[in-house]
Structure 1
Amino acid sequence: MNDYLNVIRNHYADFRGRARRREYWMFYLINTLISVLLYLPFFLQTVTAPDPEAVTPSGLALLSLIAGGLYSLFILIPSLAVSVRRLHDTGRSGWWYLINFVPLVGGLIFLIFMVLGSQPGPNRWGPNPKGQTANVAADW
């Protein structure tokens, strides 16, 4: 939960620097749980209706839909920012985020980038957030 709050409080629109795997994945885990909880009443109303195609949301379901939509807008920029910082941590430019728009394989390639470990030592986006240095071979 601290990683999620850290992204919201300290790195809301920060596209500079690096983000560890833990920061990225904890942010997305908490974000997914909040989204599911917000949209749950709307989902339950549409699934349990006798004719789901003719349902117009009302009451709690409508409130759920509005709250979920507002939350999605609120979390859009931090989601992009933490993804770009995670790409920086793997040694890639933030422009690699656009690979998500390639049908079928783009999302899979992006997922692989997010799972890969940090680039050891500092890179052009800053020092390693883990504090590790690169393994440098001794000069013989």
Structure 2
Amino acid sequence: MTFGAAVQSCLSKYATFSGRAPRSEFWWFWVFTLLAEIAALVVSATLLSGSVVTGSATSSMQGWFVFVSQSWLTGIVHLALILPSLAVAVRRLHDVGRSGWWFLILFVPFGIFVLLFWWVQPSEREPNAHGLPPLLAAG
């Protein structure tokens, strides 16, 4: 699956937690999310760079305001992409034969390493409880 196809697939299945997602779809969407949030941070910082006042009279509250106001666009992008990111993560777990509820292991210390191990595994080649293999179903 290509970068564009992965992004299109994830955004078209915005909140679809059923089905399966191949490894390439999951990782390409992760890259897209990272690039979108970095771009939002850069754009937000660029828009506010002319309005930041520097000098000796700056207080800690002004510094906090500048930090919060620079990240507003990043926050909006993050909120817009959190649901499809969760959905593709669950579909990826389905693809390796795991229940989507295993995503909650993220809240256990070192649970992210278990999730990463499952996310990098190849897809199950045969149909499982969550449907046909995604690349076979598409073709």
How would you bin the TM-score normalised by the shorter chain?
0.7 to 0.9
Provide the residue aligned with 1:135 in structure 2: none
Structure 1 segment 1-140 matched on structure 2, within 5 A: 1-8=4-11, 10-40=12-42, 41-42=44-45, 54=60, 55=63, 56-57=65-66, 62=69, 64-103=70-109, 105-131=110-136
Cα distance per residue 1:72-100 (max 9 Å; x no partner): 11111101100000000000000010111
Structure 2 gaps of 5+ residues are none
Please state how far the C-alpha of 1:119 moved relative to its aligned partner: 1.1
Contact 1:42-1:57 within 8 A present in 2 as well: no
Please state how far the C-alpha of 1:130 moved relative to its aligned partner: 2.3
Work out which structure has the larger RCO, using CA pairs closer than 8 Å and 6 or more positions apart in sequence.
2
Please state how far the C-alpha of 1:5 moved relative to its aligned partner: 2.2
Structure 1 gaps of 5+ residues are 133-140
Please state how far the C-alpha of 1:38 moved relative to its aligned partner: 1.1
Report the TM-score, using the length of structure 2 for normalisation: 0.78
Cα distance per residue 1:51-72 (max 9 Å; x no partner): 9x931318xx82x411111111
Report the TM-score, using the length of structure 1 for normalisation: 0.77
